Structure 1
Amino acid sequence: MTESNARFERIERLRSFLKIGGRRSLYLYCLLTGIVSGLGAFAFSRALAWGEFLMLYTFAGMNNTHPNGEYYVDLNPDPNLRVGRWVLLFLPVVGGLVTGWIVTRFSKDSAGTGTDSMIDSFHNKEGKMEARVPFVKSISTIFTLSSGGSGGKEGPISQIGAGFGSLVATITGAGARARRTLLLAGTAGGLGAIFHAPLGGALTAVEMIYREDIESDSLIPCIISSVTAYLTYSGLNGFGSVYRVPEIGFEEYPELFFYAVLGILCFLNGSLFIHIFRKIQDWAVGWKIPDWLKPAIGGIPVGLIGFFLPEVIGTGAGVLQDALDGKQIFEAYIPNVLDTLGIDKIPDAIGLQEDGILSTTNLQKEFAVKRNLLLVLFFFGFAFLKILTTSFTIGTGGSAGMFGPALFIGGMLGGAVGTVTKMALSTSVSVSSFILVGMGAFYAGIASAPIAGMVMICEIIGSYSLLPPLMVVSIISFVMSHKLTLYRNQKENRFQSPAHYWDMNRDVLEGITVEQISSLLRNIAVVRSSVLLSELEKESMKIQASDYVVLNEKEKYLGILSLRKIRHSPESREFATNLITVGDVADSAVPAASLDQSLASVLKLLLEFDLDKIAVTTTEGKEFLGYLRYAELMKVYFEATVPQKNRSIG
């Protein structure tokens, strides 16, 4: 035995040991996938935090707030390394240049959102993903976001898990169904870890691949992976919700009207977002420049916008945290705008008059109204600018996710509607509640994932108190957005997915192995290779057989001989009667079936080689056991598909 053959046998034995043999072994690999996803999320979040600290906080001098559950570098930047805010004009361009080179050089599948690539892999590639994609995606996204590109970090994190799940399926020799399940399990693990949302991550993974359906078969594996990833990541990073939120809730029924308006606004802005993103994406494809240069070109408008309004670049998570905390995130801009508009500063309180009545001037009321309306305009403006920066960053080939920007845009829309609601109802309306509801509803609309959007937000904040308005707004946004989708590769439902063609056209023979019907094996039309062909032709007339199984001198399977295709002619019979043996004309290219093979694959062999029987050998070697006829296969199929009471009796 050669060294290569020995190595091959060792690999085959290892693969046989690791083989996914059922649901339990699949769940075990989902557990392993979750651990890797959690560790990958931890490593990625650390690397991104250091990149942001160096590029945005040290060089550019930005000082953003961080969400409660997000890791950040708790150090004071070195003032000697500070370049100034003007560097934001160039950082997105440089980051785009590096990202474009990395993606073009090592993996073009790493460009864009990452989620769309995963969905395409699920539907059209049997869950296969190149092993290098998660690594390249992570590196390119770190350069994109730390240099000021607008996007989310969930894309590479989910691809780390998805790539590992696909790799596990390759190593174990898993089929397409198990591979797709592990792909989704890895995606769920990444999302569940980074957003501290074990259930939300699982639901997002199974819901985002369809517009009006869910991949229910993979729900349990995704939950196992997501919970495992969440526990792994939280054990290293700390437990708790992602965002720190004040007291929130839903108590006043009149608020429902404004929540409904928020749902409509989420649909309108979601439609605008998808339209702008698609236009820029298609426009960039037509540029007559190298692909590696395109993300740098997209970084030019991002840098211009970021120089004046740095809040709308990067992940935007810190801005959302400020808005939830009730901080005036626009306080640096409002005084200048008020002064430009000729609006005086708020007058001092006049206090109590001599008669004991509190004096509230019309000027104070007018100022409050104008200031609140200005806040509303800023909320809408930030949402629109985030749409632009994200579209230019990712649409031109940058690498980042879409979930983060969706939360930002929806949060800004919620802040605008919440401010108007507070003005209209004059009650203790929680603007933070509107921000959170907008975050979930906006993603529910653009990704066709209403259940995932609702649950994800509840887990991100660690409370289900906003579930009623979340349900109302998310369903409104989802129903109105039914013809829209952020991801090009989403399918309407499983009936349109190649992943479920087997389900839609189910072959019952796939579920039956040769071993299960081994009692039907025959040994009549069997001949040794040394027999003369002329003698076999005479013998075939007695048993009315046309195809024979041929064995060699050691009783091992040699091939198939079809007398319908090879017979003596009257001229050759006289001269070659005693010359041609069965072994000379047997077709050794016809493979034998094994006991663990499905009847569907056996039927394919019969049709491919135009035979009426196929030899069956042991799984380990070529020990002949008997042959299976086409007639037996049809009998088994008939018994498996036609109910007993409906079978006709001849």
Structure 2
Amino acid sequence: MGGVVVVAPQTGNIGFLARLQDSPTRWIVYGIITGLASGLVAVLFLFALELAGQLTFGLLAQLPQPSPPGDAIVHLEGVGEGEPRRWLFFLLPVVGGLLSGLVVYRFAPEAEGHGTDEVLRAFHQRRGVIRARVPLVKGIATIFTLAGGGSAGKEGPIMQIGAGIGSFLATRLGLSARDRRILLLAGAAGGLGAIFRAPLGSALTAIEVLYREDFESDALIPCVISSVTAYVLFILLVGGQRIFAVPQLPLLTPLEVPGYLLLAGVAVPVGWGYIRLFYATRDRIFRKLPLPRPLRPMLGGLGVGLIGLQFPQAYGAGWGYIQQALDGQLLIQTMAWVVLAKIVATSLTIGSGGSGGVFGPTLFIGGMLGGVIGYGGELIAPALFPHPSAYVLVGMASFFAGVASAPIGAMLMVTEMTGGYTLLPPLMLVSVVSIVLMRRFSIYENQVQDRFHSPAHIADLTINVLEEMKVADVFQPTSDVPTVTPATGFEALRGLILTSREATVPVVDPNGRLVGLLTAEQLRPVMDEHQLDRFVVAGDICAPPFSLQRDDDLYRAHELFRASGCPQIPVMEEGVGGNPPCIIGMLDYRDMMRAYGRELARRREN
């Protein structure tokens, strides 16, 4: 039932809200409702997370982790007053990983890993649908992960939780797929706006992180309304203190520019290594382990525990240590080692299937990297690095901008979180350099290049471009198309599929008429079933026939590809002298999309 959208009966208040669909003010109302729901959930989530962390690290292990001023909302008696239990401190990530894995893979496997990427997947590939149970499962699993010391962030999960709320509301209201996607982003913006206390930057991040080179501009107004609403509700319930306490910083001077450029130059290779190690850990280690998936986060937690014995800063979200870096309380060599430790610990936690986010760890790594440059530069050339704490903040935003291809939202979020608006010039400088040099890489694998590469906007590209392009412009005519008859046996089909360059084989009757299509994808699951050789023939298993003409437009071709599931479709030409139409070539889906990309590039240049 994960991908099925159920439209509830429109009665009572739900019916009233649904009737707003044709009203120009509907996004104001929907945005406010989504913001209230996501803001309230963000308050509960942060409170539960802080309480769980105080219980595990503060009372059980007696080794409390620091929190930044704006997140220190829970205070328990007896925290840190007893004898430290380092053995328990080491085992906490193992237990947290085990509990998280059991919850996720039992109730909602899509809640594994980092939440932001799942939001992108839901937007681009699932028509904005997130199962109703996912927000609850994601919240519980993330609490287990972070309260156990897993190296992850709370920001990605709250983004997924808020997006799930928006998707649920849209489904209940019976909204279209387009509107459900917009409400999904509005929920994500609301969750971020509350947890970061940064409404404008969160709204822009929600519409920016979908693409490497574009924005989802249609969702801007609902995202701003939802984010501001959630932010207001959060500060009413929790308070308006900013997350970090930051000293007043003066405007940028020309002497400081080389230092910030140095930060950008260091951030790029570190970001590239971070992305490579993150996915290598997931794909080459944990996905190949002969271990049940629910147990893999426990193994990742074991690695995090070993790292934490030497570098406790790698545990959890670690934002309290960012405050210490801002205050100049961390040694330069400590921050340098913590950058590496955090990269490895995050790769182990999320790569093993633990539930959390990479949003927060990415900001943490950037902050520590900025601290190394800022405080290290102050020792060598104090005149060029007069305000080393500023490098911590600039490093946070610029590093995230580089690895996530989302510079504008990150810059505004950091300035809102800290009140450091005088940092905008160096933030822009370092972020632009980072994103230009890292444009081809992203920590989010479901991020696409722009709207035209998203299935969510397939209607836009087909109407505007594909209808104007013809099959004759793309396919290569040939008289050498391999075919089979309905009586061709399974053994011959297997041999043809294995030796042919084509992924689709037309089935033609003795009179030359196209009667069906066979694909390698159809045969692959039973390719080794040799008992089928004696009694299965092509006519038994072929799919219905689909074909195109030279003068058909590529929009029709795209619809046939979608309906048939075939990677190639025959192109037919009318026969001569009463003969049936004959096959003159095959149109390949990949060739069609490459031609579409070239046409888009040509139009952009013009």
TM-score for the superposition, normalised by structure 1: 0.68
Q: Distance in 2 between matches of 1:10 and 1:326?
A: 55
Query: Which aligned pairs between 1:22-61 and structure 2 lie closer than 5 A?
Result: 22-61=23-62
Contact map agreement 1:380 1:413 (CA 8 A) in 2:
yes
Q: What displacement does 1:267 show?
A: 1.2
Corresponding letter in the other structure for 2:364: F
1:163 and 1:292 mapped to 2: Cα distance? Answer: 23
Q: CA deviation at 1:80?
A: 8.7
Q: Which residue of 1 aligns with 2:389?
A: 432
* Residue number among 399, 403, 409 corresponding to 2:359 in the alignment: 403
Q: How many Å apart are 1:485 and its aligned residue?
A: 0.5
Residue 420 of structure 1, aligned match among 376, 386, 407: 376
Distance (Å, rounded) in 1 between the aligned partners of 2:347 and 2:23: 43
The answer to whether the Cα contact below 8 Å between 1:298 and 1:392 also exists between their aligned partners in 2 is yes
Match of 1:480 among 437, 448, 461: 437
For 1:40 and 1:101, locate their aligned partners in 2 and report how far apart those are by CA, in whole Å. Answer: 23
Partner of 2:117: 116
Of 445, 454, 457, the match for 2:402 = 445
Code of the residue aligned with 1:317 in structure 2: it is W
Residue number in structure 2 paired with 1:646: none
Which structure has the larger Rg over C-alpha atoms?
A: 1
* Matching of residues 93-492 of structure 1 within 5 Å: 93-282=94-283, 283-327=285-329, 329-330=330-331, 375=332, 377-427=333-383, 429-492=386-449
Distance apart, 1:448 and its partner CA: 0.4
The 1:78/1:218 distance shift into structure 2, 3 A limit, reads closer
C-alpha distance in 1, partners of 2:72/2:378? 33
How far 1:435 moved relative to its partner? Answer: 0.5
Q: 1:246 to 1:495 in 2, by over 3 A?
A: same
Q: Which residue of 1 aligns with 2:9?
A: 11
**1:122–1:499 CA contact under 8 A, matched in 2:** yes
Give the Cα separation in 2 of the matches to 1:9 and 1:273: 42
> Helix, strand or coil: the match of 1:414?
helix
1:78–1:263: structure 2 CA closer, same or farther, 3 Å change rule?
A: closer
In the alignment, is the contact (CA less than 8 A) between 1:95 and 1:144 conserved in 2? yes
Contact 2:54-2:64 at 8 Å conserved across structures: no
TM-score (ref. length: structure 2): 0.73
SS in 1 for 2:102: helix
Deviation at 1:466, TM superposition (A): 0.2
Aligned residues: 458
Report if aligned partners of 1:380, 1:416 keep a CA contact under 8 Å in 2. Answer: yes
State the SS of the aligned residue for 2:9. helix
Alpha-carbon spacing, 1:431–1:438, altered in 2? closer, same or farther (3 Å): same
Give 1:205 deviation, angstroms: 0.2
CA distance in 1 between partners of 2:240 and 2:80 (Å): 33
**Distance in 2 between residues matched to 1:172 and 1:234, nearest whole Å:** 29
Q: Identify which range, 243-252 or 483-492, moves more after superposition.
A: 243-252
Question: For residues 10 and 138 of structure 1, do their structure 2 counterparts lie closer, same or farther at Cα, with a shift above 3 Å needed?
Answer: closer
Give the superposition deviation at 1:23: 3.8
The alignment's C-alpha RMSD in Å is 2.2
Q: Distance in 1 between matches of 2:362 and 2:184?
A: 23
CA contact (8 A) 1:211 1:491 kept: yes
Displacement of 1:266 in angstroms is: 1.3
Per-residue CA deviations over 1:457-508 (Å, capped at 9, x if unaligned) read 1011023110000000000111111010101111100010111112223489
Gapped regions of structure 1 (runs ≥ 5) = 1-7, 331-374, 509-603, 609-650
Taking the aligned partners of 2:49 and 2:8, their CA distance within structure 1 comes to 41
TM-fit CA distance, 1:216: 0.8
Runs (4+) off by over 4 Å: 12-16, 78-83
- Rounded to whole Å, the distance in 2 between the matches of 1:291 and 1:249 is 51
CA positional deviation for 1:161 = 1.5
Contact kept in structure 2, 1:249 and 1:433, CA below 8 Å: no
- Deviation digits for residues 320-348 of structure 1, max 9, x if unmatched? 01111222x34xxxxxxxxxxxxxxxxxx
| Aligned CA distance change for structure 1 residues 80 and 475 (closer, same or farther; 3 Å) | closer
How far apart, CA to CA, are the structure 1 residues paired with 2:148 and 2:60?
A: 10
Alpha-carbon distance between aligned partners in 1 of 2:399 and 2:62, rounded to the nearest angstrom: 31
- 1:614-637 C-alpha deviation (Å, 9 max, x unpaired): xxxxxxxxxxxxxxxxxxxxxxxx
5+ long unaligned stretches in structure 2: 1-5, 466-558, 564-606
Asked whether the equivalents of residues 62 and 82 of structure 2 are also in contact (C-alpha less than 8 Å), the reply is no
* Counterparts of 2:8 and 2:402, CA distance in 1: 51
Identity of aligned residues (%): 45
SS at match of 2:421: coil
Specify whether residues 80 and 482 from structure 1 end up closer, same or farther in structure 2 by C-alpha distance, changes over 3 A only: closer
One-letter amino acid of the counterpart of residue 383, structure 1: V
Whole-angstrom CA distance in 2 between matches of 1:73 and 1:236: 13
CA distance in 2, matches of 1:251, 1:198: 25
AA at the equivalent of 1:482: R
Mapped partners of 1:105, 1:506: distance in 2: 42
